[in-house]
Structure 1
Amino acid sequence: MRVQAIDHVALLPLYLAAGAAVLALFAGRAAKGCMMIGLTAAAVAALWVGGGEDRSTFAVGTWHSFVADDAAMGAAALFAGLSVLVAAVSGRQSGEYWFLLAVSAAGGITLAGARDLITLIVALETLTVPLYVLVTKPGRDGAEAGVTFLIASIASSATALMGAAFLYAAAGTLHLEGLAAGLAGADPALVAAGAALLLGGFAFKLAAAPLHAWAPLVLERAPLPIATYLASASKLGGAIAIIWVVFFGLEAGAGTATGIVVAALSVASIAIGNLGALVQRRTVPLLAWSGIAHAGYALAPLAVVTTATGREDAPAAASAALAYAVFFVLLEAGAFASLTAVRPAWTSDRAAGVEALAVGEHATGERRDEIAIGERRTPLEGLKTGGPQGSDLKASAGNIPVQGSGEGGAIAELSGLWRSAPLPASLFLFSVIGLAGLPPALAGTFAKVAILEVLASSALWLAVIVAAGAVLGLAYYLPLARTVLLGRGPSTAKGRFAIALAAVGLALLAMTLAPQVVLDFTAVSR
């Protein structure tokens, strides 16, 4: 009996992430520390493996199901690092919370090295399934967010699996390297259907239009630390899945069909995301809609496989798409993490707040009267939005906490944040300016330059759309930054999680000063 050789060094980051999940499940009060230490070790191991020679394992002939090259290990380290960041800004949670977060990180690390459709889809589901629970918090809004995300994810998974089945029928293999050769002589209609379904299923994870509807609602109503994870690690998973499939599997044998699908997703995302963000008055929905536009920017370089020139520059296109995804998710993580730091740690929906006040040991008759008249009194509105008055109300209600982090509130509530919480405000400003692609946050500038450089030589029309979308984005990013920096409202928010925010800020600063490090690690090659 022949036994398949396994390169355990290539799998070391995955082993450490899985070990962190197991420890978090059984470590009790030490679960958070075990999870963070384990995932930090996984990130360091990924960088160490990526710094050496390329490795691969689970071979079928010359094809491999898992590859540990620079791009894969860089992405694996980023998955682990984002999970540690989310853990750092999550406060106190139960052991199951840390277990689910570590399992999701292990799925992301597996996804980074996946080179066949089964491994890719299973890894993407491992990244996503724990979030079904994590996005749900007590109350009607939390339940709606959880159900919406569950239904969208199931639909996307079924769509992707159907596409994988079509491609397997056309090529006779599920290995991405095998698809590149097997699809060349296959039935064009079957190949086109398979490519469209597979990429459409993955586009749900990236929240690319027209498959985006779940993102604004779920990010608004999920706990803010989990919204941070959804906006960064989860979207990075969707981006990597699409990049790997297009570059390693579909570009050679299904270039035209793939390019048409990706171009449609890109243009729709840029248009719908920017228009949706323009009308938002709340912080998280604005970031969610703008994230849809950024998904379109990340997909744009992959659309050049429709052209002869683009096919010659396919490695540069895939590298530009991955680099943009990395820059984007780190900036999104910075924005959401800083927002988490200045919002209340405990919130509830209206019903839970009323119940807490009704049974609170210190709830006075005057406070209950305020609840009775509902919409006409400010304290109840403060309770709903998690504002300072709402915090006072909950304190007077016996300080009964409801697990889950508060939603992001209105943009106007950030007015004056620069004076009351300078560290979170600085990180938020840097992230927002970077997402807008403006200096001094040059990380976003380098990201856009990378994709425009690819598009300018092979798809000029798409470069024009990307540039127009970036200009349109200034219409909502600059007022948001102005509110934080120049607003004169009486913001009373106090920043938390200083160490985590400082770490993210240093990472963004390093990307601005040395973007070539990111570009080197995101260089994709066959």
Structure 2
Amino acid sequence: MAAQTIDHAALLPLYLAAATAAVALFAGRAARAVLTAGLSASGAAALWLLAGPTRATFAVGERHSFVADDAAMGLAALFAGLTVLVAAVSGRRSAEYCFLLAVSAAGGITLAAGRDLITLLVAVETLTVPLYVLVAKPGRTGAEAGVTFLIASIASSATALMGAALLYAASGSVHLAGLGALADGHPGLAAAGTALLLGGLGFKLAAAPLHAWAPLVLERAPLPIAAYLASASKLGGAVAVIWVVHFGLAEGAGAAAGIVLAVLAVASIAVGNLGALAQRRTVGLLAWSGIAHAGYLLAPLGALSAAAGRDDAAGAASAALAYAVFFVLLEAGAFASLTAVRERDGGAIADLGGLWRTAPGAATVFLIAVIGLAGLPPALAGTFAKVAVLEWLASAAVWLAVVVVAGAVVGLAYYLRLARTVLLGRGAVSRRRFGLAVLAAGAALAAVSLAPQLVLEFTSLSR
């Protein structure tokens, strides 16, 4: 029997991330330096692959389980970069802490290139399982956050796995490309599998009504881990949903997938904005608004329920992926700057009063991120994210475009209130840490604001 050929070059970013995790576990005090160097090398390898031709490995016929194309390698580099940023704002941590972060990053890199249901679900779990430990800081509230996150994740994983099993039964394939056969399979089985799989992955994205765990866990987790949950972990959920829809369901079950995702999108926008309006704590506001942003991200995919949406499924996936990348960069910037001025938690919004005067560097990055999340210039990363979604929705599902615009307008109320507090409020915030990390986050936001094509090019799935 002939052995399967493996393209080791395509797997290089994953090899480096896995090796980083193994070395960091035994590196002692040098663990953070090992994580930074190893994941930086992994990100550089991903960018090298992005600059070259598409590579793929683990083939069954013409289908591959691991594809190192432009989108996958751009996302792999982003996962590595976000993890390095979180490590940088974590301060002095144990080797086990760095090991768990590196394992999670390896899961994200695998997820970015995964093209079958088994690889995808295993990668999602590899990304998520280390966070069960990391969110549970010492104390009662930390234990509650850890248990809540554990139970929600187990429920979502079981739901997604059941959906994947039903889709396999209906199509006879675990490869995403093989799910096109759902059009010829049992319609009830396909619809049930689609709803369960997307519902399970919706937990990871914290899309309403599957969102209840997110505000509690983010508020009670250590701030650096809250930053990771709001950026890298949420990016993982978004990528999983987009890959399943774009590479698998759009052809064979586009209408069913569109209906499920449209419901999730509208519910997320409504629930997220209403929850954020009532918040008086900074992390709580960011957590609830993140639920609304999950809705904006899912809106283009929800338009697949309309005929016009199914005619350009690649455009919907591209718009959703671009939004996801812009959003997680803004979230990472907001949490990194917040971590630089807060010790244990985000505190009340009023506590950030006077931040502009006491910590101008962190305040600048925080304001850019907040204004970007509102979708306003001069933080053009958020503006381009909204435009990418609305431009596509305008030609496919105008009613969803109206919902997105209405949600964005409501979001101005709490984002501008937060920005006003930072600029004009009175407070005594004076802690300033992690200057290089905050500067790096600000530089990344400036780069994608001034040159959005850096994101739009590798997130285009239409080519």
Amino acid aligned to 1:2: A
Q: CA deviation at 1:79?
A: 0.3
Aligned 8 A contact 1:170 1:187 in 2: yes
Q: CA deviation at 1:525?
A: 4.2
Amino acid aligned to 1:239: A
Q: Does 1:293 align with 2:230?
A: no
Following superposition of structure 1 onto structure 2, how do residues 317-396 of structure 1 map, counting pairs within 5 Å? 317-344=316-343
What does residue 483 of structure 1 align with? 421
Give, in whole Å, the separation in 1 of the partners of 2:66 and 2:347.
42
What does residue 440 of structure 2 align with? 503
Following superposition of structure 1 onto structure 2, how do residues 400-439 of structure 1 map, counting pairs within 5 Å? 406-439=344-377
Instruction: State which of 440, 449, 452 in structure 2 corresponds to 1:512.
Output: 449
What does residue 197 of structure 2 align with? 198
Instruction: State which of 457, 481, 485 in structure 1 corresponds to 2:395.
Output: 457
Q: CA deviation at 1:44?
A: 0.7
Give, in whole Å, the separation in 1 of the partners of 2:271 and 2:137.
29
TM-score normalised over the length of structure 1: 0.87
Q: What residue ranges of structure 2 are gaps of 5+ in the alignment?
A: none
Give, in whole Å, the separation in 1 of the partners of 2:325 and 2:430.
30
Give, in whole Å, the separation in 1 of the partners of 2:462 and 2:14.
22
Q: Does 1:255 align with 2:254?
A: yes
Following superposition of structure 1 onto structure 2, how do residues 8-407 of structure 1 map, counting pairs within 5 Å? 8-180=8-180, 182-344=181-343, 406-407=344-345
Instruction: State which of 406, 411, 415 in structure 2 corresponds to 1:473.
Output: 411
Amino acid aligned to 2:58: F
What does residue 431 of structure 2 align with? 494
User: Counterpart of 1:184 in 2: which secondary structure?
Assistant: helix
Q: What residue ranges of structure 1 are gaps of 5+ in the alignment?
A: 345-405
Give, in whole Å, the separation in 2 of the partners of 1:307 and 1:86.
40
User: Counterpart of 1:137 in 2: which secondary structure?
Assistant: coil
Give, in whole Å, the separation in 2 of the partners of 1:482 and 1:439.
16
Instruction: State which of 374, 381, 395 in structure 2 corresponds to 1:443.
Output: 381
Give, in whole Å, the separation in 1 of the partners of 2:416 and 2:29.
43
Give, in whole Å, the separation in 2 of the partners of 1:50 and 1:304.
29
Aligned 8 A contact 2:350 2:427 in 1: no
Give, in whole Å, the separation in 1 of the partners of 2:39 and 2:191.
39
User: Counterpart of 2:67 in 1: which secondary structure?
Assistant: strand
Give, in whole Å, the separation in 2 of the partners of 1:142 and 1:492.
24
Aligned 8 A contact 1:302 1:317 in 2: yes
User: Counterpart of 2:252 in 1: which secondary structure?
Assistant: coil
User: Counterpart of 2:183 in 1: which secondary structure?
Assistant: coil
Larger radius of gyration: 1
What does residue 349 of structure 1 align with? none
Q: CA deviation at 1:446?
A: 0.4
Aligned 8 A contact 2:231 2:331 in 1: yes
Aligned 8 A contact 1:220 1:284 in 2: yes
Aligned 8 A contact 1:416 1:490 in 2: yes
Q: CA deviation at 1:308?
A: 2.2
Give, in whole Å, the separation in 2 of the partners of 1:212 and 1:441.
27
Amino acid aligned to 2:235: L
Give, in whole Å, the separation in 2 of the partners of 1:496 and 1:168.
50
Q: Deviations over 1:360-413 (max 9, x none)?
A: xxxxxxxxxxxxxxxxxxxxxxxxxxxxxxxxxxxxxxxxxxxxxx11100000
Aligned 8 A contact 2:55 2:69 in 1: yes
TM-score normalised over the length of structure 2: 0.99
Amino acid aligned to 1:175: H
Task: State the identity as a percent.
Answer: 75
Give, in whole Å, the separation in 2 of the partners of 1:151 and 1:284.
22
User: Counterpart of 2:56 in 1: which secondary structure?
Assistant: strand
Question: Following TM superposition, where does structure 1 have runs of at least 4 consecutive aligned residues deviating by more than 4 angstroms?
Answer: none
Aligned 8 A contact 2:341 2:433 in 1: yes
Give, in whole Å, the separation in 2 of the partners of 1:422 and 1:475.
23
Aligned 8 A contact 1:343 1:493 in 2: no
